[in-house]
Amino acid sequence: MKLMVESNNAALAVIVSTDLPYSALTAHALADDGVPLVLASDLSIHGHALKTDGRLSLLFTGNNDPARPLTTPRLTLLGRAIVAEPEDREPYLARQPGAKLYFDFGDMRLYRVEISSTHLVVGFGRAVSVSPAMLKIKYATIP
């Protein structure tokens, strides 16, 4: 989706050991097949949760009109983090070149987001679920 391609970061929500949600800002990228990639340190709260539980939600937003924030387009992905493939390194670093400084630290881990469901809001009261398959088709058509 255009929101994933154009945004440089996303809100990442995970479940921590207390079974409560925790959210963080993450710098994401997209793998060559359109799957979101997230880099996290095992030492961070969200990185530890990704490693031990894996359930997550990512929220991508479009341009915000401060006077009417609920009209902001947004896409929420729900799914599970799985350890990324070696070939996912280059797309991530191409999108987030600043991560080269710490990408290879022992506590850093790159994840692919295995999407189970999505929710797209294109304005106040205008929402629709988009299948993960349709999301991939839409990604493939973006130049």
Q: Is the pLDDT of residue 140 over 50?
A: no
pTM of the model: 0.88
H-helix segments, 9-70:
45-52
Closest CA to 27 of 2, 46, 51, 52: 46
| 45-82 pLDDT, tens digit each | 999 999 999 999 999 998 878 888 888 889 999 999 99
3.40.50.150, 3.20.20.70, 2.60.40.3620, 2.30.110.10: CATH of 2-141 = 2.30.110.10
Bigger pLDDT: 142 or 82? 82
List the domain boundaries for the chain.
Answer: 2-141
Phi-psi region of 54 (alpha: psi -120 to 50; beta: other; left: phi over 0): left
